[in-house]
Amino acid sequence: MSTPDDTSSVDEMSNEEKRHDQLTSAPDATEADAAPRIEVSEHDGNTRIDIAEDAPVRPGPGPGVEIDDDEV
């Protein structure tokens, strides 16, 4: 497997910078594609991960999946 000759610029990037670079490198990508989708917080030594309120895609039943009103 071959690697680029100069990877020093990639090695110096933070994880957030790498994420942003990856999510905005597609031809039609926008800054909104790199927007955070989760919120991470710590409470009494526990890590909580929540889906951001303004996340464009949220977990849940997929298209065409029927749910009972009692489950909501």
Specify the higher pLDDT residue, 66 or 49: 49
**What pLDDT, in 10s, does the model give residues 43-53?**
999 999 999 88
Q: Look at residue 2 and tell me if it is in a domain.
A: no
In the structure encoding, which two tokens stand for residue 37, read together? 């989708």
**What pLDDT, in 10s, does the model give residues 5-38?**
555 566 799 998 999 999 999 999 999 888 888 8
Q: Look at residue 68 and tell me if it is in a domain.
A: no
Q: Look at residue 71 and tell me if it is in a domain.
A: no
This prediction's pTM:
0.49
The domain total for the chain is: 1
Burial level of 1, CB count in 10 A (0-12/13-18/19+)? exposed
DSSP 8-state assignment for residue 1: -
Residue 28 lies in domain: 13-55
